[in-house]
Chains A and B, each alone.
Chain A
Amino acid sequence: MLTLRGVGRRFPGGTEALAGVDLDLGEGDFLALLGPSGCGKSTLLRLIAGLDPPDTGSCVWAGAPPGPGQIGVVFQDPTLLPWARAAENVWLPLRLGGQRREAAWPAVQAALAQVGLADAAARYPRALSGGMRMRVAIARALVTRPRLLLLDEPFAALDEFTRHKLQEDLLALWQRARCTVVFVTHSIYEAAFLARRIVLMTPGPGRIADEIASPLAPSPQTRLDPAYAALVGETTRRMQRALEMP
């Protein structure tokens, strides 16, 4: 779907955020970008989204590059419009694409139902809990039925119970919708639970150091599976080794 070759990015001021990144993103992948803070995960995600251009190297799409609404994004903060109700927030991407409220409403309702918020459609963001706001943000990303879903540490600010629930929901959504997902995280547990491919990144400058293919079948039960514990151990070991290498 997308091929990155030798991608680098340097910020004004001299920070080399990414250098020599090679990555192949396949149709239907669920890929976790895992690494410590500052290793360039968000920078890489923005490159994939096309929000920033690479300074060196190339990003090549197989076929037509995605148009408006074909990439869904979820940021670490829900970043909802505080003056719009939950349903209006979800409507936003369709509205920007020229869809009127009446035409968009079935899709909006469906997206809210997908994240279990059908009852909260008329509420304002400030009347929602942190987890519910994140669900609205996910519904907003899903409402256009994107080919590619990009998430930047979306659950980092949530409590463990909510996080587990949303992780399971996301996994189920991915299995149903079969879109391609790139998920940025600095949690080994989260990466091991969710991803089919765990991409390990190291800082200074940001590089892809290693990649692990998950042997687990995507299912909410995997948390108790010994194979999950083994994958967490394996990922931890290889991350440590990647960080020790000069």
Chain B
Amino acid sequence: MNGATWLRAAPALFGLAALLLWEGLVRALDVPNYLVPGPLAILRAFLEDPGGLLLALLSTLSVTASALLAASSLGVLLALAMAASPWARAAIQPWAVVLQVTPIVAIAPLIIVWVGDPFTSLVVCATIVAFFPVLSNTAVGLAAVSPELLDLFRLNGASRWQILWLLRLPAALPYFLAGLRISGGLALVGAVVAEFVAGSGGFATGLAYRILEASYRLRIPRMFAALVLLCIAGIAINAALAGFSRWLLRRRGEV
């Protein structure tokens, strides 16, 4: 194995070592399952009911995907409006920040009551958590155009539409993609938090509900199994979005 291969294998090796250490410690110190279950106990808990947990994961993921889609569309639209008119920028910016800094747990109950439909309300909550990185990154990207290129466009009689379509939007793409990657993780977090707040009130199908349920019944290994699934989902979303950006930028000859 050469250096690069080692580097690529490093996360897996480190994880494996940590799991072995974890299992070893739990056994050596005789820690009871309801305090800290070992990896094997967690795996057993997962295998007892893989269908239920995976279905719950699917439910959470569908909220996440819908929220990410909504967040990126909303973020790009608002960023475009902000780039198009200083008036829109002044009007939108403070409210975007207000939404960004408001703890979602504080407003989620209100949203759930107002929206009514459980799925939609979860998506709304996750969208609020996730849209800010796309908005702010895209806005920066739309504005970060070289002034010399703008001059070149002006000298050749470019219309506002041409400047947007041929210069600002393509220049903003890498910024948008960087924001999208952050928003992907946030959408998952937002979905789970909203599910926690919603609890059993109506839409009890997500992973967060499985975690709550397992903790009420002191089925701690099952709770951990659900947590592990969440982590894996988060890592997968991040990796998928990173791969997507790399693919897109490479296709455009930029990487």
Q: Which residues of A contact B (CB under 8 A)?
A: 46, 49-51, 67-69, 71, 73, 75, 77, 79, 81-83, 85, 92-93, 95-97, 124-127, 144
Output the least CB separation between B145 and chain A (Å). Answer: 10
Asked if B29 is at the interface (CB within 8 A of a chain A CB), the reply is no
Q: Does B9 contact A (CB under 8 A)?
A: no
Q: Which of A51, A67, A83 contacts B151 (CB 8 A)?
A: A51
B155 close to A124 (CB less than 8 A)? no
15 A-B pairs whose Cβ atoms sit less than 8 Å apart in the complex: A49-B151, A68-B156, A69-B155, A69-B156, A77-B148, A79-B149, A79-B152, A81-B167, A83-B252, A92-B166, A95-B166, A96-B156, A96-B158, A125-B253, A126-B253
B156, A82: Cβ atoms closer than 8 Å: no
A97 and B152 contact, CB distance less than 8 A: no
Known contacts being A73-B151, A75-B148, is A83 close to B254, with CB within 8 Å? yes
Question: Which partner residue on chain A sits nearest B252 by CB separation?
Answer: A83
Question: Which residue on chain A has the smallest CB distance to residue B173?
Answer: A83
Which chain B residues lie closer than 8 Å to A50 at the CB level?
A: 155
Asked if residues B170 and A81 are in contact (CB atoms below 8 Å), the reply is yes
Number of A-B residue pairs with CB-CB distance less than 8 Å in the complex they form: 58
| Contact code string B141-173 (vs A, CB < 8 Å = 1, else 0) | 000001011011111111000100011001001
Whole-angstrom distance between the Cβ of B192 and the nearest chain A Cβ: 36
Report the Cα distance A50→B157, complex, angstroms: 12
A85 and B253 contact, CB distance less than 8 A: yes
Chain B contact residue count (CB 8 A cutoff): 19
Which positions in B face A, CB cutoff 8 Å? 146, 148-149, 151-158, 162, 166-167, 170, 173, 252-254
What is the bound-complex CA distance between A50 and B173, given in angstroms? Answer: 31
In the complex, which residue of chain A has the Cβ closest to the Cβ of B167? Answer: A81
Pair A96/B253 contact, Cβ less than 8 Å: no
User: How far, in whole Å, are A46 and B150 apart by their CA atoms in the complex?
Assistant: 13
Specify which chain A residues have a CB less than 8 angstroms from the CB of B254 in the assembled complex: 82-83, 124, 126
Knowing that A51-B151, A93-B156, A95-B166 are A-B contacts, what are 19 other residue pairs whose CB atoms are under 8 Å apart, sorted by A's residue number? A49-B151, A49-B155, A51-B155, A73-B152, A75-B148, A79-B152, A81-B149, A81-B167, A81-B170, A82-B254, A83-B252, A83-B254, A85-B253, A96-B153, A96-B158, A97-B157, A124-B252, A124-B254, A125-B253
**Across the two chains, which residue of chain B brings its CB closest to A95?**
B166
Q: B157 contacts which chain A residues (CB < 8 A)?
A: 67-69, 96-97
Contact A144 B253 (CB under 8 A): no
For A124, list chain B residues within 8 Å (CB): 252-254
- Whether the Cβ atoms of B148 and A71 lie closer than 8 Å is no
In the complex, what's the smallest C-beta–C-beta distance from B253 to chain A, in angstroms?
3
Residues of chain A contacted by B153 (CB below 8 angstroms) = 96
A147 to chain B, nearest CB (A): 12
Can you list the 9 inter-chain pairs with the closest CB atoms, starting with the nearest? A68-B157, A124-B253, A83-B252, A96-B156, A93-B156, A96-B158, A79-B148, A75-B148, A83-B170
Listed residue (B146, B148, B166) with the most chain A CB atoms within 10 angstroms of its CB: B148
Query: Within 8 Å CB of A67, what residues of B?
Result: 157
